[in-house]
Amino acid sequence: MRKLWSQPDTRKALLESLAEKGYGDEQLAEIRRMIDAEKSDLFDVLAYIAFALAPITREERVDTHKEKIFSRYDERLQGFLDFVLSQYVQEGVGELDQEKLPHLLELKYRAVTDAAEQLGGVARIRDAFIGFQKHLYD
């Protein structure tokens, strides 16, 4: 499950599959409330159901993995990823969807072109955005 969840495209497919089976956003939010995990990642809710693993908060997840994530990127990308992680802690796993990347770049840098200039190009940003997520769920 970690491997599926740590990639934005397979995570999205898993969530779509769950929704098709009657476990959409509302149902998963209700389960999250039932197990007192409102500040946890949906991954932790699913891991609790499937494997009886105690959920941790998104903030705890970030604190646990931040050093490992940052060790793989230069200072400029660390600044952007720190911003992404703060959005994730505040808003949830939806902030890690690939479709959110342009919005996140605009929030932090005002324009995607400005972000690309400062961070070394769109491909580099995209690779970092997707790449760090596998370490967030180690």
pLDDT of 108-125, one tens digit each?
999 999 999 999 999 999
Per-residue pLDDT reduced to its tens digit, 34-54: 999 999 999 999 999 999 999
Same domain, 24 and 91: no
Residues above pLDDT 70, as percent of the chain: 100
Same domain, 68 and 129: yes
Q: Which of 32, 31, 93, 38 is nearest to 62 (CA)?
A: 93
Paired tokens of 85:
């992680």
Same domain, 77 and 39: no
Same domain, 23 and 47: yes
Same domain, 45 and 88: no
Same domain, 121 and 96: yes
Q: Domain range holding 7?
A: 2-51
Average pLDDT over residues 61-81: 97
Same domain, 82 and 24: no
Same domain, 40 and 98: no
Same domain, 25 and 80: no
Same domain, 72 and 129: yes
Same domain, 47 and 75: no
Q: pLDDT category, 14, cuts 50, 70, 90?
A: very high
Average pLDDT over residues 4-8: 95
Q: pLDDT category, 24, cuts 50, 70, 90?
A: very high
Domain boundary among 13, 28, 51: 51
pLDDT of residue 48: 95
pLDDT of residue 107: 97
Question: Mean pLDDT score of the chain, rounded to an integer?
Answer: 96
Per-residue pLDDT reduced to its tens digit, 87-96: 999 999 999 9
Q: pLDDT category, 104, cuts 50, 70, 90?
A: very high
CB-CB contact of 93 with 82 (8 Å):
no
Residue by residue, DSSP assigns 76-134 as HHHHHHHHHHHHHHHH-GGGGSGGGHHHHHHHHHSSHHHHHHHHT-HHHHHHHHHHHHH
Same domain, 44 and 77: no
Q: What is the pTM of this model?
A: 0.93
Total domains present in the chain: 2
